Chains A and B, each alone.
Chain A
Amino acid sequence: MLDRSKIVGLPISRIDGPLKVTGQAKYAAEHFEPGMLFGHVALATIAAGRILAIDTRAAERVRGVVKIYTHENRPKAAYRDSKWKDAVALPGHPFRPLENDRVLFDGQPVAFVVAETPEAARDAAGLIHVHYAAETPHTDIMAEQHNSYEPPVARMKQFLPPPPRGDAEAAFAAAPHKISADYVLAGEHHNPMELFAATVRFEDEGRLTIHDKTQGSQNSRDYVCGVFGLDPDKVIVKNDFVGGAFGQALRPKHHLFFAVMASLDLSRSMKVEMTRREMFYLSWRPSCVQTVSLAADDEGYLQAVLHHAVHTTSRHEDYQENVANWSGLAYKCDNVKISYELVKLDLATPGDMRAPGAASGVAALETAMDELACEVGIDPLELRVRNFVHRDQNQDKAITSKALHACYREGAKRFGWSQRSPKPRSMRDGNDLVGWGMAGGIWEAMMSKGEAKVRLSADGNVMVSAAASDIGTGTYTILGQLAAEVFDCPMDAVTVDIGRSDLPKTGVEGGSWTAATTGSAVQAAAKAVVKTLLDHAKSMENSPLAKASEEQVEIAEGRLVLETNHQVGIALADIMAMAGLDAVEEHAKVGPDMLSMMRYAAYSHSAVFVEVKVDEELGVVRVKSAAFRSQRNATAVTEPAHCPFA
């Protein structure tokens, strides 16, 4: 963590902002290649069954149509499931477009048209007639709940429920105050502004350059190389700009498969862009049914926590997210039982979407906490304070930092929580009943493995590079700030080169870990540059820094100086001139510290305060104001906590 800050944390403009607001930032579908072809996907109109026949005659007659692909003529692709598994793949069988005659979900691609123009491709796709043997589809989680099951293969170890503590059922039965309720959440479909699209440039010697709408250029590259058996050195995937993603673009989608498939088959450049409607089928927050039972003693100390969660997955994959485990770690309770199951429906595989799991599970837990507060007869904020913990209760680990107490206090003060009247129906405004409520929020503060390269030139310019993605979260600016901070240079001296698969290795952008991961790699690489400069400086004749150690120096105003006395130092240009260098470049690799992770758990916490007005007669609900304070784990320090009051 930085002990002082010159640039990090300042409210500077996004460095990619001017390109975006002037329309110069090009997104995946905005790249054109001479002689390129365009593809359009025809989607299944049933959710379960078999394709009996596909009539493409009318579609073939459309002027400009080059080729129509169905499961009957699709070019060969990898046989083994493992080749189809991307970095965020799930237990089960990855979806393979046009693999066979099975329809596994609503909106499944059943044909792919390639044409000279996007209009011809779309027109022809609409003329394809598919004859199905339809089966009765199951799409309602409530109706299929009896078929729920525990996932036989865990997506991640930490998604498995923790072992039960104490005897939750007995404690629940014995407690004086209790609530038990079902929380049913409908599925949510994200649909970010940029449509899924891939533009493939077909080059000599089988080289491909692909502009893809993805949260990870290297994930897309590895996926197409696995599926089509391509040499990773001959494929470059670019995602310089990503028009929103929210998790939907973590896994490669069928547009990428089709664009590369047709490009290879026809030896032509290709573009495939999904329709807005097509986007709605894919990678959604699953519908979820939860039962939360809480019990407390007369003072509001939790006696039992039971949380059972069931959510949707597809026929072919076991999508999993951490829905219910939060209930075991967030509050002090000796009797805890958490269970988690899936239900298969004839729908596309759900996917990670904005705090996957927590958004569903913490919502249910916090709602239940409010209901319990009412039952016990104490303030909901006080209930949370009484059950506050400083350790992760599931893993019995210390938490790296948790300022939630201060967050509660500050939020309550700004909101005026002490003025709340606890009695139901006691606050009114005209026709409206007024309610004040609050909740806590929690999310993992994650870091993953990442690499970055930093280059400092003799003229003072800085180049930062990594295969990171900026999905609108400010990654360009954050990485630039971190380098500028180390080199004490203005932001306009820094160039940030990201969004390309041939840059230093970076995982997908998601889970709120990129600033912590790639940011740390940039810091480490920048510090390595400083160390290299110091090594050169030390070897200079009569070097004033001869005895200085790495920890004692820093860069200030273009000079490598002693931290304690900026008068003592050497101009960077002089160091490089002496060493005969135009620039110093260093590469760094970072990852979570496994030893620390064994002892500590890291989370972000938040508190939310809202006022809700309900017109009792008409049922119209208005959320009038919301207070929100968050505090982040120490690894991410580049954006200050904010507190928008409506």
Chain B
Amino acid sequence: MKRFTYTRAETVADAVAALAARPQAQFLAGGTNLVDLMKYDVARPDAIIDINSLPLKEIEELPDGGFRIGALASNSGVAYDARIQARFPLLASAILAGASPQLRNAATTGGNLLQRTRCSYFYDPSTPCNKREPGSGCAAIGGLTRMHAILGASDKCIAVHPSDMCVALAALDATVEVVGPDSARDIAFGDFHRLPGDEPQRDNTLACDELVTGIRLEANHFADHYTYLKLRDRLSYAFALVSVAAAMEIADGRVVDLRIALGGVAHRPWRDPLVEAEYAGAPAEDVTFQRVADRLLLQAKGLGGNDFKIPLARKAIVRALRQAAGGTPQSQTIKAIQ
């Protein structure tokens, strides 16, 4: 345990200024992940800047039909917003596939983007971990790898991103709005989370002096053909072994526009727009879906304990695309896989 100061920021500018003054500070929103990590002595901030008073809770419709979701809108607030459910049901479904009602009530949109991996070695300060302590090594490599990456891993880190919501946001091409001390900027969702490479301590491309203020979603035509299929060791309150966010537009039996992102398989939500483009116009049938799966997993590599994830991901992709094409999205309340 480390001593830390606690301050409350009232405006975005205050929050960013407070962070600039204390480089080891961390923002506190819902606290569902940060407080946990502090208890485990994994996160060791010297200052906590509580941002819950900032005016970032709104979910607003934009003139072009898109939506802007404030960074402090709760996961439950987003998932149960009637407009989100009607226009972005994939997002609502993905959120409801994760955590528990209590956690979703407390957790925020911005916090969900920034949650850390649940790699059990990362959580155990008595083991080396390049993400927790750069340069100390990786205990997961050669350890128990059931929950670890099959895509995009490095020899420094094989952890996966734990979010369900982010898998949907990746598929939906969201934009992350951030504010720094001097300026605000947008980050395309695909550029937000990163692969571990040689710097696994960096989960994302947010600068160390920036604050996530919200995300934007563009209007789309995916409300009829989507699904979020999450496979896990138990059917509730567990992180994904493999999850698939799929959305498509179908015309005359053909996939006009395809979006597919995978969770639980890499250091970030895994998406390959080139594969999606390649199959635009292909018939909405199993043969197409199998090819998409094969292409997405072409580079997949097992580590022993997670070898099963490769065939599992292949089958999950096919099933998810079938669910989306058929207009029968996976229910997150009746948890039997459809």
Give A residues with C-beta under 8 Å from B: 45, 119, 122-123, 126, 430-432, 613, 615, 617-620, 622
Contact = CB atoms under 8 A, between A and B. Distances in A.
Contact of A618 (B1, B126, B316): B316
A615 B1 contact: no
14 contacts: A45-B126, A119-B1, A431-B337, A431-B338, A432-B336, A613-B336, A617-B319, A618-B231, A618-B315, A618-B316, A618-B337, A620-B231, A620-B337, A622-B336
Which interface residue of B231, B235, B316, B336 has the most chain A CB atoms within 10 A?
Answer: B336
Given A122-B1, A618-B319, A619-B312, 4 more contacts: A618-B337, A620-B231, A620-B235, A622-B235
B10 interface: no
Contacts of A123: 1
B337 A615 contact: yes
A119 B312 CA distance: 45
Interface string B306-338: 000000100110010000000000000000111
B293 to A, nearest CB: 12
Interface in B16-39: none
A622 B312 CA distance: 17
Given A119-B1, A126-B1, A617 B338 contact: no
A123 B1 CA distance: 5
Contact of B315 (A119, A122, A430, A617): A617
Contacts of B337: 431, 615, 618, 620
Contacts of A45: 126
B306 to A, nearest CB: 14
A-B complex: 8 closest residue pairs judged by Cβ atoms: A45-B126, A123-B1, A617-B315, A615-B337, A620-B337, A618-B315, A126-B41, A618-B337
Contacts of A431: 337-338
A65 to B, nearest CB: 13
A62 to B, nearest CB: 9
Contacts of B316: 618
Contacts of B231: 618, 620
B315 to A, nearest CB: 5
Nearest to A429: B336
Given A618-B312, A618-B315, A430 B338 contact: yes
A368 B297 CA distance: 39
B329 to A, nearest CB: 15
A622 B319 CA distance: 18
Contacts of B315: 617-618
Nearest to B318: A617
A619 B319 CA distance: 12
Contacts of B1: 119, 122-123, 126
Contacts of B319: 617-618
Which interface residue of A45, A119, A617 has the most chain B CB atoms within 10 A?
Answer: A617
A615 B319 CA distance: 11
Contacts of A119: 1
B302 to A, nearest CB: 16
A441 to B, nearest CB: 23
A18 B136 CA distance: 52
Nearest to B3: A123
A120 to B, nearest CB: 9
Nearest to A45: B126
Nearest to A619: B312
A365 B20 CA distance: 65
A123 B41 CA distance: 10
Contacts of B338: 430-431
Interface in B234-278: 235
A433 B259 CA distance: 31
Interface in B188-224: none
Contacts of B126: 45
A123 B44 CA distance: 12
A432 B315 CA distance: 14
A205 B170 CA distance: 69
Nearest to B1: A123
A45 B41 CA distance: 15
Contacts of B336: 432, 613, 622
A622 to B, nearest CB: 6
A618 B312 CA distance: 6
A186 B312 CA distance: 23
A580 to B, nearest CB: 61
A430 B41 CA distance: 47
Nearest to A46: B126
A130 to B, nearest CB: 10
Nearest to A107: B126
Contacts of A618: 231, 312, 315-316, 319, 337
B235 to A, nearest CB: 7
A617 B235 CA distance: 16
Which interface residue of A126, A430, A613, A618 has the most chain B CB atoms within 10 A?
Answer: A618
Contacts of B235: 620, 622
